[in-house]
Structure formats: C-alpha cells, structure tokens
Chains A and B, each alone.
Chain A
Amino acid sequence: MGTPIHVSGLNAWFGSKQALDNINLDIPPNHATAVIGPSGCGKSTFVRCLNRMHETIPGARAEGTVKVGETDVYGNGTSAVELRRKVGMVFQKPNPFPSMSIYDNVAAGLKLNGLRKRRILDETVEHSLRQAALWDEVKDELKKKSGASLSGGQQQRLCIARALAVQPEVMLMDEPASALDPISTAKIEELIYQLKSEYTIVIVTHNMQQAARVAEFTGFFLLGQLVEFDKTETIFTKPHDKRTEDYITGRFG
C-alpha cells in the first residue's frame, strides 16, 4: 500500500543559496503526483528532500517538516538510510551498477543490506523485473550480462525494478524518461500507471503532456516556490494562478 506524504514549511539551501522557499503540500497515497516547472525552479530539490538525498550534496541542507506516513523525515530519531528503504528513487539518467549482473542489480538493495536467502532473492528479483516489465527481455541472461549492457530504456526499467525490490512505499521519479526515446518513454509511463495501485508516486517532469497522461495531481513550482497544487485536470484547464497559466500555455519556461 502507498503512503501519504505531508510537507509543511520546507526550506532547502545549497550553501547560502535558497532553493526551496516554504513549501506546503499534501501528496495523496496510491496516486501519481507530477511536479512541473521550468529548469532550476527546485523540482528536483523538492523530491530529493523527500528521501533526504538533498543533504548528500556538500553544503546542501533542508529544514521543515516532511512526514511519510508516520515517519518524521527530518525528525531527530530518523535514520536517512532506513528512510530511503521506504522512499525509493529513480534518477534522470539510468544508473545501473556496471560491475553487477542484471540479477545482482535488482537484488542489490536486499543483498547489500545483508539478505542472503536465495529463495527470497530469486523471487524478489523475478517479481520486481515483472513489475518493471523487463522480465521477458532479460530472463535468459540474468546472471551473465552486466546491467550496463542493456539499452537505455531497459536500463531505466532495470533501475525501477531495483528500486521496487526493496519494497518501498513511495517511489520518487526524477525525470525518469527524459533521457529515453518515445517508445521507451511510453513503456515507463505505462509502468507508472500500473504502479500507482501499490505505491505513492511523485514524478518530476519537464514534459507537460507526460504529467497530464500519468498524474492525477500536479504541483507547479517556480523560483523555489510552490505556485499551485491541484488536480492535474484543473492545473491544465483552469489554473487559478496567472503564472501557472503562462507556463502551461508556453508563454515562458
């Protein structure tokens, strides 16, 4: 089951430069929520704050309240490492582990955290690859081929399978299809559509058609602020804010 995300008063900085300014937002469970906005508006920073990947960049920090289900993301007792097992992430550029086989790539999250039981690993790898619609294409060469030998689109689905294998509750996707061709993009979108029944999905995208196709809710970011958050349909047909309207009609950005 997916988990709701509650964000209030979230601020983020890179050194002295503020990247997010007082973000307040509730992301509903078991839906896809799109984050749109021009380059440099803080979209990526926002999703990276949800699993505390933001703070891995030297000089970067974040403040505010983020709750994933019952977990207080920036709470004192919360470990970023454990949080990230609950809040999975898929990155803009496919980044499979080049030294690992396809199997080991998918099993990495479990194996590197100490799980050794073969039966469970085998089952999880197959299940995750099926979920990511990659199983049929790779099942004969699971342990022979490196994850890096796949095509770009396959690599990205491999990365999705890898993220799914640790059984997260939330999936963050940072422009997951922007480096892919239209056919691979369509496959990824299809995947997002199916995954929402089980996960809460937050997807950053530059492509407004993509947001319209996959997401029920959309947030529009501009200059580090959340300008508007609503049902996707509302954002694209009758936005309340003039800036949102300007952006979606292509007047800037």
Chain B
Amino acid sequence: MHNTRSGRGLMRWRRFKNLFATCVMSLMALLVLAPLFAVLGDLVRRGAGALHWSFLVNLPTPPGEAGGGMANGIAGSFMMLLVASAIGVPLGIGCGVFLSEYGNNRYGTIIRFTADVLNGVPSIVIGMTVYGLVVITQRHFSLLAGGIALGIMMVPTVSRSTEEMLRMVPQSIREAAWGLGVPRWRTTVSVVLRTATSGIITGIMLAFARVAGETAPLLFTAFGNQFWNFKLNQPTAALPLQIYTYAISAFEDWNQQAWAGALILIVLIIGTIGVVRLVAARGTLRGAA
C-alpha cells in the first residue's frame, strides 16, 4: 500500500491522524474538567447572592433574621485545620521518611499496609474513634478533638505521598552526600527531604484540601457552635458543619447561606493552596530540577 501511495498522500494521512488524536485528547481533557467547572459555576451562581460582607464577619442569626454570617465557622475551621496540620504533617512526613529511607523490611510493609487501610477508613468512623478517645475523656466536644480527627485523616495521605516523592530522589544524590562525609540522618533531612520539598508540599496540600471539607469526623468531635470559640477544649463551629446544618434546614435563607458557605470554603481552600505554592516557589532557584 505504501508503494502505491505517494509521499504527499502519506504525509496527509499522518497529519489527519495527528489532528484526530489531538482532538480526541482535548475532548477527554474537557470531559474531565467539565464537572469541576460545573460545580464551581453552580456554587458561584447560587452562593454569590447570599454573600455580603456581613456573612464574613457576623455570627449566625436565627432563621428569618437578616445579617447573619459564618464568621465563627470560618475561624473555627481555620483553627481546626491548624491543629490538624500540626498533628498530621509532622507525623505524616516522619512516617514517609521512615518508609522510604528505612522501610525496606517487615516493619515498612506493615506500616505501609496500615496507612493504606487508614486511608480507606470512613471518615465518620475516625470521628467516632476520636469521640471515644478524646471527647469522652475530656467530657467536652472540643476544637482539639476536631483537629485530632482531621489530623489523623491527613497522616496516610501525607506519608504515602512523602514516601513516593522521596523514592523519586535518585540514589546518586544520597551517595553524593554520604561521599562527603555527611551522616545518614543529616543527608535525609538536609539533602533528600530538601530535594523533594515541592512534591511533599503538593501531598500536604492534597491532604489539607481533603480534610478541610470533611463534615462527618467533626459531628461528634468539634460538634459546632453558634458563637465564637477560641478555646481548645470547647465546642467549635466549622464551615462544613455549618453548611451541613444550614443545607438540610427548612429555612430558605439558611439554604441560601449554605451555598454561600460552600463557596467561601472552596475559595479558602484554593486560596490557601495558592499562598503556600507562592511561598514555596519563592525559595526555588533558577534551573533547579
């Protein structure tokens, strides 16, 4: 067939195949992006109406009373995520370092398996466990309990992504440091971790975004609160909880506010990720691989 077809015809056929494949791939990409933009668009359309400055700075009001907001929920979520990150990030990174650098043995296999199972545990079960361990002991629903529940959920994601990122650091980089007489622990901390920093940050952001929207583990831990709370041992409002309560309520204006709350939650998550990325990028050198 190639003998009968002229060179130009063959070229045209190749161009057509190339164009066709490009179109198919672009369509796939659009299909993947479509749900995301549909969700975002719907959120903006429905949520923007209830968004006023008062929504960001006021406490919730009873249904029918105008001017209520979710300021306490925003603050509560922020503090809880801070507690969760303070627990989940160091634990997750430590675990990932162990798995990648020292985990080629039975212990590594066991821990890796445990992390995978933990990743699959329904979030409400984690909430109940923390209820049993922290809330009952403390005799209080609390910000701390909510933070712990979310922190536990961050560990497997952070540790597995840290492990993957560290494994991608070539062995030759470790050898270079050992060859200079740098002790092994120092090599791990100052060379291997540092080389994988941007990947590890991506993993942390993934875990962060995932737990930021969690409602179930907070039901029996942080519980929610109509008022401000800045104490670790008191029940605390959280955006997802408030969205949940408002969305299932029978009041039209609360339903409206739930949409606005969801929009704020998404914006805050995207904003946090953006800020962290910017800060991380500032430390990157020209030409760094």
Contacts and interface: CB of A to CB of B under 8 A. Distances in A.
A149 B287 contact: yes
Interface string B109-132: 000000000000000000000000
Contacts of B179: 51, 53, 84, 88-89, 91, 163
Interface stretch (B156-164, B169-177, B220-228, B269-277): B169-177
B173 A97 contact: yes
A159 B286 contact: no
A56 B175 contact: yes
Give the contact-size bracket for chain B: 20 to 34
B159 to A, nearest CB: 21
Interface residues of A, number: 36
Interface string A15-38: 000000000000000000000000
Interface string B259-289: 0000000000000000000000000011111
A85 interface: yes
Given A82-B181, A85-B181, A113-B182, A91 B176 contact: yes
Contacts of A82: 181
Contacts of B194: 97, 99-100
Contact of B178 (A58, A84, A96, A99): A84
Contacts of A150: 287
B7 interface: no
Contact of A97 (B176, B178, B286, B287): B176
A98 interface: yes
A144 interface: yes
A109 interface: yes
A83 B176 CA distance: 14
A159 B183 CA distance: 18
Given A53-B175, A112-B186, A149 B288 contact: yes
A127 interface: no
B195 to A, nearest CB: 5
Interface of A: 51, 53, 56, 58, 81-86, 88-89, 91, 93, 95-101, 108-109, 112-113, 141, 144-146, 148-150, 159, 162-163, 166
In the complex, the 3 A-B pairs of residues with the closest C-beta atoms, listed nearest first: A149-B287, A85-B181, A109-B180
